[in-house]
Amino acid sequence: MKKSLLLSFLFFIFLVANGNSQNLATFFDEADSVFSTYVSNGKIAYKELAKDPSKLEKVLTTAATISVSPSDAKKYQAFWINAYNLAVIKGIVDNWPITSPLDKKGFFDTTKYELGGTKITLNDIENKKLRATFNEPRFHFVLVCGALGCPPIIPKAYTPSNLEALLQQQTVRALNDPNFIRVKGNKVAFSEIFKWYKEDFLKNGNEIDFLNNYRKEKVPIDAKVTYYTYDWRLNEQ
């Protein structure tokens, strides 16, 4: 009798795990469909999404009940990066027309979304689900807050198989973009991202050390560091 109960329990666990794995694969496919359809040149077709948000609503419905564990880091990180970017789009579409995410009070710290089996804000996805769990400053170049000051969003979903390559790709692109990192003589103006999350970039040196790990043209180590004002205008097509 005990053996029978154990086998039944193990079979139940298998079904739950298999079902969740299938749901996660579906989520990545649906997210990829949204990004590939509505993202171009780092900008988002919010107006088109506002007219027909069915694809967006579908993937967010799938995301609502998915369970991911930090112990499976690539699945966990890929899920929450996509969930963040999709939730930003959802927040803008829900308040359309809008010219900046800051036009909506509480956009990042009050509005909650049903994702990963919980109700969660954008700030909590970034700070509690990702930054607090992993020492990974490259998150800042793939989490896109809906503004022109963000690194550009890509027209595809992050998946466990492409995550590392895309984290590296987007970090290299951002830190070699003269509009994002503004070098003039012996001065370098960083995005305010580097001021707001300063501690993330100082774990193996200073900001310039971090920057030069990804730069093709290195910045002088004694360059004067400043921060230019963040552009909160909408990253709209």
Tens of pLDDT along the chain (237 residues) come to: 566 555 555 444 544 445 577 899 999 999 999 999 999 999 999 999 999 999 999 999 999 999 999 999 999 999 999 999 999 999 999 999 999 999 999 999 999 999 999 999 999 999 999 999 999 999 999 999 999 999 999 999 999 999 999 999 999 999 999 999 999 999 999 999 999 999 999 988 999 999 999 999 999 999 999 999 999 999 999
How are beta strands 182-184 and 118-120 bridged, if at all? unpaired
- Check residue 234 and report its DSSP letter: B
CA separation for the pair 105, 84 (Å, rounded): 18
* Single-letter amino acid, residue 208: I
The stretches of the chain forming alpha helices (DSSP H) are 2-38, 46-51, 54-64, 73-94, 122-124, 163-175, 193-196, 207-212
Which tokens in the block code for residue 166?
Answer: 């895309």
> Cα–chain-centroid distance for residue 199?
19
Nearest to 60 by CA among 96, 95, 84, 92: 84
